[in-house]
Amino acid sequence: IAAMVKAEGDKMIYVAGMISLILAPYIVSQRRKLTDLEAVKGTLEFLEKQVDEFTNQNNRLKDAVNELGNTTDALEERERAMDMITATQGQNLEILEKQVKDNQKLVK
């Protein structure tokens, strides 16, 4: 009986060894897939952070462009006002010169 139990135990050891040999490559393959998946997940998280940062920078740049547009509009308005003042000053200067000439004629 002891010999039969020993023979049965030896068979169980061989069966367990065979199952281990068959499953070992599968387990290694699954472990690699998990590792690769974790690497992809890490890369995805990094890319999501980069996209968020670029979105924030893009929004800041849009705000800066809008502000520059407003500043440009204000400067153009001031330029038009200065042109009007300059044109008026030229007319006033002509009137002043005419008055000086008229006064010179009156004084003579």
Residue 28: pLDDT over 80: yes
Positive or negative: CA dihedral 43, 49, 51, 57: negative
CA distance 54 to 75: 31
pTM of the predicted structure, to 2 decimals: 0.49
The 10s digit of each residue's pLDDT in 44-87 is: 999 999 999 999 999 999 999 999 999 999 999 999 988 888 77
Residue 23: pLDDT over 60: yes
Q: Could you tell me the residue ranges of all domains in the chain? A: 1-78
CA distance 91 to 88: 5
Which of 92, 85, 89 has its CA nearest to residue 100?
92
